[in-house]
Amino acid sequence: MYRIRSSVAARPFGSLARRIQADRAALTQSLIALSFSTAASLFAGIALIMSNDRIEAYPGLLLMLPAASGLKGMTSGALAGRLGTAVHMGTFQRSLRSDSVVGQNVRAGLVLSLTMTTATAVLAKVGATAFGISPTMTLTEFISISVIGGLVASAITMLVAVFITELSVARQWDADNVTAPLITSVGDILTVPTLIFATRLADHGYLTDALGIGCGVVAVIVFSQSWRSQRPILRRIVHESVAILGIGALLDIAAGSVVDGSSVFDIEPGLLVLLPAFLAVTGALGAMLSNRLTTKLHLGLVDPHKPSFGSLSDDLSLMYLTALPLYLGIAFASVAAAHLVDMGLPNVTEMLLIVFVAGAVTVTLGAVAAVGATFATYRLGLDPDNYGVPFVTSTVDLCGATALVVVISAAGIVG
């Protein structure tokens, strides 16, 4: 059975120096994985800036982008959390057979991706109408772009999740520290390009309408079959995940409305390069916290009814310690990336102010969401792996987007 590193076990709160020493392996693994996630997210930010003309040509698309990116984090991040728990519990199997633990998890992830990309498209259309975005794409255009672009990204991301989990087992890494940020980065790299490419399916009249309707019908059929599946793991994941993913989609659509409705990104389009990296890294930090707490609960290392600060302090400290160098890197790298594509940005000092103030608020809210969702769902007899990551990442997306806009506006950096 895979052995859990000492960082997973609860220890009394000590000095910062002792905690860094004790958590060195976890901190190193997290920093490496999240650094890769940051670089990948900056690539996504550059792709977002370079696709600005395409986004403007399809009104409502920017509203859907945070939801599409968030959905990858929710479904693939939850998959990573479940696989990590399987590793710690000794039930992880290197098999994609339909009756295996991994096979049922991957199938559930694909079913939920198909279902939620369809639902997200509908929500985006409703949101575009409600927020007065006009003209906007048709519902079938939203569905075609969301489902085709989303499924391609999801399928690749989930296969990568299985591979990274296997690699973690082989290298004796703690999967809770590396899988979530790496999966987030892969999803970020793929989401923007696949959605932009999928816009080629729009503007084709009856063909687009047929594709959109077909995707919707297939989503309903596949979801119905999985809901009644004889595979217990698949059925439970679908039953427990669909509601929280729906709530997450609503929160991400709200995040998209904050971005789309703010004049900040119109005045300074270069700030879009910051958005994916900031949200992805902060969401990954919250997902890591949720995954680590879930593993402790499953292994009986934390009392679900009387959690103490001492039992949570290691994981909370790791979250904040990891955030500091990453936010520093995001600020400097965002300025460099914006200059690379010849887009203006505030200077480095102002970027540091934006990232650290907005980051402090968002990381804290993400930690509260992770602890609250993980313990609440476990007490209700539900699997926190199905709830924690989706709730945390979608909450971080909304809080992070709002915090960025508020900090930038309040500091008078733009305008």
Residue with tokens 């859907």: 64
How far apart CA 56 and CA 63 sit, in angstroms, is 11
Question: Which tens digit of pLDDT belongs to each residue from 240-250?
Answer: 888 888 888 88
The number of C-alpha atoms within 13 Å of 164 and in the hemisphere containing its C-beta is: 28
> Whole-model pTM?
0.69
pLDDT at site 176: 66
What is the identity of the amino acid at 363? V
Per-residue HEC secondary structure of 30-46 comes to HHHHHHHHHHHHHHHHH
pLDDT at 22 over 60: no
pLDDT at site 357: 93
SS3 18: helix
pLDDT at 216 over 70: yes
pLDDT at site 363: 92
Question: Which tens digit of pLDDT belongs to each residue from 273-324?
Answer: 777 778 878 887 888 888 888 888 888 888 888 777 667 877 888 888 888 8
How far apart CA 410 and CA 402 sit, in angstroms, is 12
pLDDT at site 241: 86
How far apart CA 293 and CA 269 sit, in angstroms, is 38
The number of C-alpha atoms within 13 Å of 189 and in the hemisphere containing its C-beta is: 14
pLDDT at 62 over 80: no
The number of C-alpha atoms within 13 Å of 412 and in the hemisphere containing its C-beta is: 0
Q: Who contacts 412 (Cβ-Cβ below 8 Å, separation ≥6)?
A: none
Give burial (CB, 10 Å; 0-12/13-18/19+) of 381: exposed
pLDDT confidence tier of residue 7, bands split at 50, 70 and 90: very low
Helices marked H in 90-231: 101-130, 139-171, 175-198, 206-227
pLDDT at 4 over 50: no
Question: Which tens digit of pLDDT belongs to each residue from 340-363?
Answer: 767 667 778 888 888 999 999 999
Q: Who contacts 232 (Cβ-Cβ below 8 Å, separation ≥6)?
A: none
Task: Look up residue 405 and give its two tokens.
Answer: 């806009």
The domain spans of the chain are 13-410
H helices, E strands: number in the chain: 14, 0
What is the identity of the amino acid at 117? T
How far apart CA 9 and CA 299 sit, in angstroms, is 10
pLDDT at 47 over 50: yes
**Average pLDDT in the 132-138 region?**
75
Give burial (CB, 10 Å; 0-12/13-18/19+) of 161: buried
**Average pLDDT in the 131-137 region?**
73
Residue with tokens 């087992």: 169
